[in-house]
Chains A and B, each alone.
Chain A
Amino acid sequence: MPAQPLRAVPGGRVAPAAPRVAFCGHCGKPPADGLVPQVGSRVCIRCNLGLLLDAPAAIAPKANEAFVVVDRALAVCGLSRRAEKVLGVREVDVVDRHVTDLLIPADAESAAGRPHGLSAVLVAATLGSEEPATMVLRPADEFGVRFTARVGPCGPSPGALVVLELG
């Protein structure tokens, strides 16, 4: 059977890409006008301690929100300065550990609250799912503390972002 040539779908619509915003992986602040990092460098020139990441605007952290960055292996890649304070850990001590060593689902009644719920949502995010997910999480070694968290993709390398909403 001869191969069919590709053709445009008549009347098809391309879904608009969700607008993405840049922020620092340490201080969480966006790169301000006039403070563009040097060519080829993604290092935040405000704090010098984070790389500039991007995420869909609906997920990206707002000023002073705590967040955790996770890679495709679900290993912790980075913690924001606020997250270090909220979770009581230093970034250098948790980097490369599995995210569930740090955060686990706390909502036992929803599907996402099942033991592997967080992992499934994170995997989907690292695979590029732009749909933001909301979960209830708690620190892995602590009861009685719960956070609502937005989970979604971040880049430029494939990764996932967990933003803790502290109310």
Chain B
Amino acid sequence: MKRFKSIVVAGFAILMTAAYLLPALTASAASSAALSITPKKNYTIEPGKSIKDTLVIRNLDKEVPLQLTLRVVDFTFNDDGGTPKLMLAEDAPQTTWSLKPFMTLPKSVTIEPDSSKTLDMKVEIPKGHGAGSYYSAIVYSSGSSEGGNVGLSASGVTLVFTQIPGKVNEDLTLEKFGAYSGSGNQASYKYIMTDMPQIMAYTLKNDGNVTESPVGSITLKSMFGKEYVIDDVNPNKSLALIGQSRTFASCIKLKEAEIDLNGKRSRSTECTKPDFWPGLYTANLDIFYGQNGNQTQEIVGTAHFWYLPWWFILLVTVVLLVIAYYVWRIVRRVKYGRPGPRTKAPRRR
């Protein structure tokens, strides 16, 4: 009996210890949340055909496996920028441009620490499907943590764009064009700039049924005749999504640099100050768009802006004051036959 009692006590102790430790173990054994993925995929698929591709995912964590669940969701635009607004709700209605029904990919994957896995994916467009742009997003979610007040999880997203060739409805309208400054949602078009203008931008409304990526140029002319040409008005190959008013920004003068991201060489660009003189500038926009086999459309626009740095405003103010002073003196001399009060009258001999 004594032995039985001690076995029960020992068993209870083990159970309690396990119960105490288990949540901590569960939490610490959670998935890694360090991953590398492909951010964007672009396809052109004819109706009745399919494409097989691969998704390469890397677990960057050196100790913990990466457990991911994969989901396809639709997305749209947030604003006039390029950030996707993911429709994550389970009951989110399917968009008219959804690629979801045509995509096949695994539902989950586990990747060992510090290694990669290649997943097969397929996009199949049914026969007779209408032409246009279709897009959705693949969301890779790491497992959520258990315990604590604030749990963390990480997800990566691959945006998938597919063009179905054929006759499409293309309709871009120029909404705004001009000098641009600021970043994020504080960026705006400017007519008078006190800082050296570095960016020109244009906003296009897309009322067609395809995503559009315009090409073309902007020619800037100063009031003294000096010309500056931006020969690539869409350097990032950005897209105007269906229904979006998209702002495309381009540097007036570019600085390029080679960079290395985890062993992959790439090219980065940033805006630098052009050698502008103060004054009035006129900008002419000439852009083209159009899908294969459809009409090439052209949009032209003209904008003006002033570059008036503070030092120039100060200088002009001082010059104007000096001119005003001398005009005033001349007026007084003509009117009263004598100079202004600060000028001494000539002595009589």
Bind each other: no
